[in-house]
Structure 1
Amino acid sequence: MLHSLSLGEQSITTATFNRAGDWLALGTSDLGQLVVWEWQSQCFVLKQQGHYDQLLALEYSPDGQYLATGGADGKVKLWNTSSGFCFVTFSEHTAATTAVKVAQSGKAVISSSLDGTVRAFDTIRYRNFRTFTSPRPAQFSCLAVDSSGDVVCAGSQDSFEIFVWSMKNGHLMEILSGHEAPISGISFGNCGANQLLVSSSWDETVRVWDIFKSKVQQETIRIHSEVLAVAFRPDGSEVAVCALNCTIHFYEPVSSLQIGLIEAKADLGRFRRETDMVSAKTASQGRSFTTLCYSADGSWILIGGQTKYICIYHAKEHVLLRRFEVSKNWSFTGLTEFLSRRTNTEFGARAMMDVEEDDSDRRTLSLPGVKSGDMASRHFKPEVKVYSVQFSPTGQSWAACTTEGLLVYSTHTDELFDPFDLDPSITPESVRNALHSVPCDYGRAVIMALRLNELNLTTEAVESVPVTEIPLISHAIGERYARVLLEFCALQLDRSRHLEFYLTWIQTLLFEYGAALKRNSAAIMPLLHLLQKALMRKKDDFLKLAQRNASSLKYAEVLMKLAQADSTTESVMQE
C-alpha cells in the first residue's frame, strides 16, 4: 500500500484517476461529496459537498453573485452562481433550516430554523455574529428582513406569533399576535413612504402590519382557505397570496382590495405515487402550490409546490406563460400519471409487494402528517416536490429547491433569436453595408443590430464603433435602445477582452440617460443589478491578478537578490 485516505464513515460511490495519474477523484453519494486528491503531495485540489439532506430554502444575493441555501440537515451554504461551487458552510443550526434571507447590503445572511433560533452570518468574516431567540421556545417557519437590514422578523408554527428583533443589538422589540394557526409566510414591502409587513397563516387570513409606527396597526384579509405562501411585489404595490385550494389572490396592500385571481388547479398536473391505491386524478386533489415569488421587475409570478411542475404566470394578465417539469428521474415517485402494465404482476403492483406484511393482508401505512414518506421501509423513494423558488435580482435566471437538488434556469441563451421593432429593411447585410459605407453610419448600424437582437451581429456592430464616436452615438440612439445596449454591454463584460471599451460605453450611456433611467428605477432595477454583478466580478478578477503578479514580482526580486549575493561571494573568494 502506497497511501491511505479516509473521507468519513460513508461508503465511496465512485473513484477515478486523471490521465496523468497524480489526481484521484472520489465521490460519495450519501454525503453529496466530491473530492479531488493529489496523492503525491497529500493535499486536496478540490473539495465540494452539498446538502446531504433535502434543500428547503434559497435566496439570491442583491447583486446576484451568490446563492444562499438552507437544508433539512441544518446547514446554510453559499454558492457562487458563476462557478457553481460552494465557498462557505455554516453549521450552527441543530435542526432543519426553514428560511434564508440576504441583507440588502449583501454583508449578512439570516436564517431561521426549527431549533428555535434565528441566526445572522457575516459573509465577509464567515462567522455567526447574531443569534435571535424567543422568550418561549418556538419553531420558526418563515423569515423576513426589511430593506435597511435593521429589522428581522420570524413567524412561529407552534405559538402562532411573529417575533421582531433589532439587528444592531439583537434585542426582541415586538411580538405580533393575532393569528390562530401556524404562520406560513411573511414578507416586507415598501408602499410609498411606509414599509409594511404582510403575514399569512393556516387560519385562512392574511394580515398587514405597520410595525414602524408607535402603535402597530393591522388589516385582516379573509381568504376562505388555508394560506401557504405570501410575497410582496418588488415595487410594493401588490401582494400575491397562494392558498391551499390552488388559487393565487392579488391584493392592494394599503386598501386591502382584491385586484386579481388565478385558478391554478388545472396547472398542478396529475400524478400518483407507486403505492397509491387511487387514480392520479384523485391523488392530486390533496396537492397544492406552496411557494411563490415575483420576478425582479414584478411582471412575472413563479410558483411551485407539491408537484413536479414549476409554473410562470404573467402578473398583470394572470395567464400561464410556461410550465417546467422538474425531473424525469424514475428513482423518484410522483412522476407517473397512469398505471403501467410493466409495474404490475399477478399479485398486484410491484412497488406494493415490499411494503406488505407477511402474515396479514393489511398494508403498512405511514403516520399522519408525514411529508417525506416512510423511510423505514425496505425500498424508499423520495417524492418529487418544489420547496422554494426565487428569481435572480439581475432578471437573467431563477432557481428552485427541489427533490432533485438546486436547479438554476437561465432566461438568456446565445442561440435565442428574439428581435423587436423589425421591418423588412433590417437584415444582417444592411447592418454590414452601414458599417462599410463611406462615410460609415455607425449609429444606424448599431440601432439595426440591436433591433435584430442577434449576439454576433450586435458585437460586430458595437465593436466597429471608434472610441471617439461613442458619445455622439450614445446621444443619438435614444432612451429605449440605451437600455438594450446597457444590458448587452453588461453581458459582454463577462465574455469580451475589450474591458475598457465596454466600460466607456457603460459610463457614457449612464451619464447621458441617468436622469431618465432614475425616473423608471423600479423597471430597470434588474438591469442595474446585472451591471453591478458584472463589474464586481471583474473587480474580483483584477484583484486576484494583481495579488498574483505582486507575489510573482516579490519572488523574482528575492531570487535576484540571492543571485547577486552568490555572485558577490564567488567574486570575493576568487580574489
Structure 2
Amino acid sequence: MNFRFQNLLGAPYRGGNAVISGNSLLISPVGNRVSVTDLIKLETVTLPCESSSNISRIAVSPDGSFLLTLDENNRCQFVNLRRRIVLHRMLFKKPVSAIKFSPDGALIAIGVGKLLQIWRSPGFRKEFFPFQLIRTFADCDASVTALDWSPDSNYVLAGSKDTAIKMSSYALVSCTLHQVLLRRFRITHNLSLDGVLDYLNSKKMTEAGPIDLIDDDNSDVEEGIDKQTRGKMGYDLPGSMPNRGRPVIRTKCLRIAPTGRCWAAATTEGVLVYSIDESFIFDPTDLDMDVTPEAVDDALAEDQPQRALLLSLRLNEDTLIKKCIVSVKPVDIKAVALSIPFKYLQRLIEAFADLLESCPHLEFILRWCEELCKVHGHSIQQNSRSLIPALRSLQKSITRLHQDLADTCSSNEYLLRYLCSTGSKN
C-alpha cells in the first residue's frame, strides 16, 4: 500500500497521547483543551471544556460516548463527548501516567505512580461521588508507564518504569475479576542495562540506602536531586557512581491481541511477543549449527529417514517435514515412530492432516497415523488437551476422505451392476 501526505489539520501539538475513536475521529490534547479531527470529513473541532493546566493524558470509551482527560495538576474531567460537556471532575493525589477504558466500558485502569487502580466508569449516572475505586494493585516496582485490557475485560496488563528500584523489570498481569495478581513477566536479563542486577553491592550502601536505588525522576525538586542526569547520576551525592551512558530498561507500550491469546510489549530491548499458542513459538535452544535444510537432505541421501525427520521437526519447516514423512519406507514406519519425542507429536499430526488432503499416498499416511497412535497412545491420552486441535484436524481429514471414498465406491458398484446386467441380457 502506498500512503502519502494528504492534509494538515488541527492545532499545534503540545504533548500528551492521541487516540482514535470509531476509526474516524482523531482526538488529541492541545494545551489545556482537546481537539477532535474527523478523518473522513477532514474537519477539526476544539471542545469547549478547559482544564486548569496542559492536558497530559486522554482516554476514550469503546463506544465513543465519553472522554477522560488528565492534566499536569492531576485533575481529571469526565466529558460527554457527543454533547461536549463535563459530567464529573476528580483530583488525584499523585501524577497519573497511564489510563485505559476496559473494552466493555464498565471499568477504567489508571496508573497512579507505582499503583495500578481499577475504577468504575461513572457513565450517565447522577451520584454524589460517581467514581468508585474497586481495587488497587501495589505490585509495580516503579511508575506505571503502559496499560492495556484483555478483550473480555477480565485482565489488565501493566508495564512499569523500573531503573534501579528493584533488581529487575517486570510487566504485571492482574486479574480484575478475582482481584489477584496472576503473574510477573521478566522482560530482560541483560545486566548491561542500568538497574538490572541479580545481587546488590554492599560497597555502594550509604546512610540513605543503596546509591543506585535513589530515584532521580524530574518530580524531585530537592537541591542536588533535580540536577541529576543519566550521564551524571550521582550529582552532589557522596559515594555515588555515574551511569556511564548505559541504557535504562523501560516498557513504553503494551497491546493485547483481539483474540486474547498473545500480547506484545515495546521495551528498550525491542518488541517482545508473548503467546499461549505453542505452535507459533520459536525455540532457538533446540537448534545448533548442524540443524540446517542441507543436513536434512544429506540424511535422506544417506538413507537415514529417522535422523532426517527429527532434524526437519526441529527446523519446523512444513515442506521438509512432509518430504521426510514420505521418504520413510513402509517397513520402517514403526521404528521411526518410536524415535519421535512427544514434544513433536502435535507438529507431526498436523502434517499428517495436511498430507491426507493433498497427498495421493493415502494408505501410507493412514498407516503412519495408526503406528503413531499405537506407539504414543498413552502419551496422547495423558496430554489430550494440548493435542486436541491437531487431533481434530486429523479427524476431519480422515472423515472427509472416508466420505469421498464411500461415494466413489458406491458409484463404481452401481456402474458394475449396470454393466453386468446389460452383459447378461445380450
Whose Rg is larger? 2
More strand by share: 1
Tell me which interval the TM-score lies in, with the shorter structure as reference length: 0.3 to 0.5
Q: TM-score, normalised by structure 1?
A: 0.33
Q: TM-score, normalised by structure 2?
A: 0.43
